[in-house]
Amino acid sequence: MIVRDFFFKPLKSITTLTALLFLLSHAYAQELKINDLEYFETQGVNVLVYNNLFTGGFNDEKNAGIELIHHGVRTAQGGAVRLSNTPEQWDLVPEIPTRKVDRASKSIESTLRYKDYDFDSRVIVTAKGNGLEIAVYLDKPIPKELEGSAGFNLEFLPSQYWNKAYLVDGRYNRFPRYVVGNSVARPNNEKPKQFKGYKTYDDRGTGKFVDPLPLERGRTFLLAPDEPSRLVKITSPDVDIMLFDGRVLAQNGWFVVRSILPTGKTGKVLTWTVEPNAIKGWVREPNIGFSQVGYIPKQQKVAVIELDKKDKPLATASLFKMGNDGSVSKVFSGNVVSWGDYYKYHYVKFDFTSVTTPGIYYIQYGNFKTNDFLIESSVYDKITDATSDIWIPIHMDHMSVNEAYRVWHGEPFKEGYLQAPPNTDHFDMHAQGPTTDTKYKALEPIPGLNVGGFFDAGDFDIETGANINVVQNFVQTWEHFKPLRDQTFVDQKQRYVDLHRPDGTPDVLQFIEHGTLNLVAQAEIVGHMTQTLSNAVLDNYHHLGDAASLTDGLPYNPNLGPYEIAKDGRSSGVKDDMWAFTSRNPRIDLYAATMFAAASRALKGYNDDLSARALVQSKRLLKEATDLLATKPEDNSPWGASANVSTNLQLYVATGEKQYRDKFQELIWPALDRNVNFTLLTALNAVPHMDASFKEKLRPYVVKYADYMKGLEKENPYGVPIVLTNWAGSGAILSFGTTICFASQYFPDVVAPGEAFKATNWLFGCHPYHNYSLVATVGATRPKAVFYGNNRADFSFIPGNVAPGILFRKPDHFENYDDWPFLWGQNEGTIAGNTNYLIFGSAFKNLVK
């Protein structure tokens, strides 16, 4: 409050303010020490030094390097020697082959290597006083081609700094809410040195490649002096420090503090002192985890409260009920029971299961109270409506999608798809092999693929594997639960979709048709399944906005000049056509065979022609893929082991032919022995189609899964499988919940139906970091507000989107930004993930009933 109050008083001089803030920051700061997890720590400040490394896939994911977790929020990252003022996602990143912790010298040292330029540097981070010294060492001078480009960067999260003040050598300024800054075009449209070099990058117009200019330059920076929880002081005795706004080049850019490395020098060539302010006595506020959707009266109701380890747990918590007249009364007090430590925090639980009276409630723990929620028998009835009514139809490819006065997108990719050239590396982790594996030549149009299918996620490609999973999810939803919900108008002839407009056909049936149309076209026209139908041009790939404006809708004509349109208006010289990556993968063919068999059943009586075509392709792909795999080394992954199992089950259910049943019976038991957690759901799906002996033979595996579930109660305070990789774990929890729903249906004496509430609790707010629902618009007063969708530049969401969720950052930090959508590993809903939510939500609602 001292800093805040001071800011509203008349200022005699900026110098006086700077000096006072400097003294205050030192008064609050505490010495940083290397802890047992090998990062620098004091209460309120964690500084990670290459605990998380840059990846070789998407390169700069804004999740690596030197990172600052400032009063519980990761506010800075990317600290490293970089080759750009404002690095983008596909820019070159350094390898970090060595990392050494020296407790005696209170330092962490790492080597950073750019092998493309044979350029190595060493970064040594040392605890000094109330902050850290960051020093860069060179054993050889910077390579000639990197002079003026190589520099040390540290990036700060815009959403935590915009509208806050900063000072540079006493000059006052403010971080802009929206990108503001100047840039210069590179001479002769020169590509930056850090650029990864995709040959298909669009170079339309003069000055496509630009350099942002610094917002400020100086030797002493004070960031956010008006906000003590974000105050950071950065100084350098030997080099100028610059501040850039990375959003000039990309909406996901951060504020970048940077110094250029001097040329022709070796040894210690750069020194920064970084002093993050630590508020004296700061303790993180409790995170009271509960279901934002609410609870049915009879279910178990347990809030999980996440506490700072320096926060002394209280003995009790209370439940308050809101009266119909607006009054509030305490209706229950109960003991708070300690669960224990889990990574960075301590966890306690508050059980209020005994409260069953319908009404509006909130939880109070000490001085902290939650937003309100419901206890009522119908709270789960609509949990999938936004996903099926809005998110899924918006992601229908090759269709115009309208909602009331809003057009979500026009009809995309009218020009169709070209054959990807051999030996092409794609920027989304795909590659075309040495041949096309088709009858089509490089860049030859492949007719008939521009039909059906679903956008993968926040981009506009059709990921074949994901779309296979999607159709399978729709079929399971249809066959198990027959949802007759009809809120979407779909016309394949007009290629038109209108939301909130019934057309007399169940929506899920139309979704099955739409996905199958594209996948059958791939099998029939290409001869097998593609890897992906995706962008040839990087500019198009990261396009935000209407998918129909991503390309010009006209086939590319190599006889025309760049951006020229033919006189008949039917082709253009724009190289923006999408590509089909067609290298054959028999595993994908097997999954497609599984899906085609299932889709053929669901479509029978609705679209008999498509049903018959799907069954033909299922049988063909099963035979061809099996023959191809017989010539390859055994695939021991769970995915590889389960593909044949599922395909034979689905073909048996579709045809009733004994050969498929026998093959399924032969394969399922070894698959369960290898990985019961992964395969059990497939086995459970078979129960209605097999005899009683199959079910009894399956029982020990269900018991084994139940033991796994009990183990999760001891593993973490939420009792669910928590994923600790660079993609958060909503998908694993959806699979977990779906397995429980079906296991409890067939084996209620082994798996209690109530176990499934663990999954909904997590999804709807009972999880680490915050208590927001992870499903857009589904929850009480606080579902997540921003997601990584194709409208992410607007800091918005598409209703029904399911976030990947709570992302783990090594070695002990969980996070989910709700003010910054651009980290896909925690905020990007995918078509496969959201249809997994549809099948889980349907199974869960059926269980509740």
- Cα separation, 437 vs 686, in Å, equals 35
- Cα separation, 687 vs 545, in Å, equals 45
pLDDT attached to residue 845:
97
On average, the pLDDT of the chain sits at: 92
Looking at residues 805-823, what average pLDDT do you find?
Answer: 97
- CA 259 vs CA 218, 266, 457, 515, 613: distances in Å: 10, 16, 36, 50, 61
Return the active site residues. 819, 828
pLDDT attached to residue 3:
35
**What are phi and psi for residue 655, nearest 5 degrees?**
-115, -25
Angular region, 563: left φ>0, alpha ψ -120 to 50, beta rest: left
Give the DSSP letter string of 106-159.
Answer: TEEEEEEEETTTTEEEEEEEEEETTEEEEEEEESSPPPGGGTTT-EEEEEE-HH
pLDDT at 7 > cutoff 70: no
Q: How many residues does the chain have?
A: 849
Looking at residues 746-763, what average pLDDT do you find?
Answer: 97
Q: Which amino acid is at 215?
A: L
Contact call for residues 67 and 79 (beta carbons, < 8 A): yes
- CA 741 vs CA 292, 472, 629, 686: distances in Å: 21, 18, 34, 15
What's the pLDDT tens digit per position in 270-290? 999 999 999 999 999 999 999
Closest CA to 541 of 576, 582, 574: 576
pLDDT attached to residue 201:
43
pLDDT at 202 > cutoff 70: no
Q: What is residue 54's DSSP assignment?
A: P
pLDDT at 466 > cutoff 50: yes
For the purposes of burial, counting CB atoms within 10 Å of the CB of 439, is it exposed (0-12), middle (13-18) or buried (19 or more)? exposed
3-state secondary structure of 470: helix
Looking at residues 669-684, what average pLDDT do you find?
Answer: 95
pLDDT attached to residue 81:
98
pLDDT at 553 > cutoff 60: yes
Q: Find the range with the poorest average confidence among 305-314, 421-430, 511-520.
A: 421-430
Compute the Cα dihedral for 328, 332, 335, 341 and give only its sign.
Answer: negative
3-state secondary structure of 651: helix
Give the DSSP letter string of 766-825.
Answer: -SSS---BSBTT-SSS-B----SSTTGGGT---TT-B----EEETTTEEE--SS-TT-HH
Q: Find the range with the poorest average confidence among 386-400, 401-415, 416-430, 439-453.
A: 416-430
Domains of the chain (ranges; CATH) run 2-276 (2.70.98), 287-375 (2.60.40.10), 384-617 (1.50.10.10)
pLDDT attached to residue 537:
80
pLDDT attached to residue 211:
85
Contacts for 844 with CB less than 8 Å, ≥ 6 apart:
380, 383, 737, 741, 756, 759, 760
pLDDT attached to residue 731:
96
pLDDT attached to residue 297:
98
Query: Encoding tokens for residue 26?
Result: 């030192």
pLDDT attached to residue 12:
38
pLDDT attached to residue 55:
86
What's the pLDDT tens digit per position in 331-346? 999 999 999 999 999 9
pLDDT at 636 > cutoff 60: no
To the question of pTM greater than 0.85 for the whole model, the response is yes
**What are phi and psi for residue 418, nearest 5 degrees?**
-105, 155
Closest CA to 292 of 794, 644, 630, 784: 784
